[in-house]
Amino acid sequence: MSEGPGISPAATMRAMVTGDRDRWVKLLMFCCASVSFLGVLLIFLFIFRESLPAITKVGIPKLFLSTDWRPASGHYGMLAFTFGTLFTTVAAMIIAAPLGIGAAVFIDQVAPEKVGRGVRRVIELLAGIPSVVIGWFALTLLVPFIRSVTGSSGFGMLAASLVLVVMSLPTITTLSAESLRAVPVELKEASAAMGATRWQSIYKILMPSAREGLIIAVVLGMGRAIGETMAVQMVIGNASQATASLLQPGSTLTTRIVQDMGEASGVFRSALFAQALMLLLLSVFLIISIRLISRERKHA
């Protein structure tokens, strides 16, 4: 039944063995957690490695800051596509942010419980629809629609932006709804008790309290939009010059890569990797922004 008292050699050894095993286990689990670091590191390293030929041969100004894209004669300026990415993203957010936050307010505050739950399910479903399916839908319905209304080809920045609205909407709505739900009930009740109408409560109390979360929701929606590839590529027209006109075809960083990668080799291929590097930097920039926003709130 009872083994001897605690300080016998056998017992001490057993304690040591168990302790050691615990230490090995902790190390193994730490390695698993470090895969995240390993992943980021490897991705950065390999993308950078593949971009290096282009960076050295073409030079950073001509590669990142030039809109001159003529691969046939060795010009690989990606600025037009960086612009395309930013333009379509911002244009998409102009619609998606109010739509997404509004839908979140609807789910959380305005709709009766069952309707709210239903819309939430719709959003979850929308989030899971593959990019190519949305792209195909846009190609068969949206592009002809734009064509008939505006007389243009239908392909272009407008179609691309609308596609990005659909793709970033679930992210924005879900995260906004979470932020709204996180606002303490006492705040909402206090506002109602003071005789504020529902809209006044929402506008003056609820949304400002959730402001940080709502901003982060939109920023992450932008991240989603920046990274979208297939759906955008199918409707944007894939032209290689910068354009601020909604009805003209254009390209983004992601669509340019997928458009040209199949044929590219050598420096051309490396230039496309450099565009991926640009995307990587944009993502890191977004993450740091989010961290800064959160930290600001904590000090406020």
Q: Is 254 in the site for another protein (CB under 8 A)?
A: yes
Q: Between residue 171 and residue 210, which ones bind another protein under the rule CB under 8 A?
A: 173, 197-200, 202-203
Of 117 and 245, nearer to another protein (C-beta) is: 117
Between 153 and 200, CB nearer to another protein:
200
- Exactly one of 3, 113, 186, 263 binds another protein (CB under 8 A); that residue is 3
Q: Quote the Cα angle for 117-122-124, to 5°.
A: 95
Tell me whether residue 170 or residue 245 sits nearer to another protein (CB atom): 170
Nearest approach in angstroms of CB 125 to another protein is: 6
Helices (H) and strands (E) in the chain, counts: 14, 2
Under the criterion CB under 8 A, does residue 293 sit at the interface with another protein? no
Interaction of residue 276 with another protein, rule CB under 8 A: yes
For residue 222, what are the contacts with CB-CB under 8 A and spacing of at least 6? 89, 93, 168, 286
How far apart are the C-alpha atoms of 5 and 13, rounded to whole Å?
13
Q: Does 239 bind another protein (CB under 8 A)?
A: no
Of 31-39, 75-83, 176-184, 207-215, which segment contacts another protein by CB under 8 A?
31-39
Scan for tokens 């979360």, then name that residue. 213
- Choose the binding region for another protein from 52-60, 62-70, 148-156, 222-230 (rule: CB under 8 A): 222-230
Binding residues for another protein, how many (CB under 8 A)?
97
Instruction: Pick out residues in 134-153 that bind another protein (CB under 8 A).
Output: 134-137, 139-141
Residues in Cβ contact with 144 at an 8 Å cutoff, skipping those fewer than 6 apart: 154
Residue 214 contacts residue 98 (beta carbons within 8 Å): no
Q: Residue 159 Cβ, how far from another protein at the closest point, in Å?
A: 15
CB of 106 to another protein, least distance (A): 4
Closer CB to another protein, 86 or 280, in the complex: 280
Give per-residue burial for 138-175: e unless 16+ CB within 10 Å, then b: bbeebbeebeeeeebebbbbbbbbbbbbbbbbbbbbbb
Q: Does 2 bind another protein (CB under 8 A)?
A: yes
CA torsion angle 40 294 123 150 (round to 10): -90
Six-digit token string for 262:
């199949």
Q: Does 131 bind another protein (CB under 8 A)?
A: yes
Residue 195's Cα: distance from chain center in Å?
Answer: 40
Report the site for another protein in 82-111 (rule: CB under 8 A): 98-99, 102-103, 105-107, 109-111
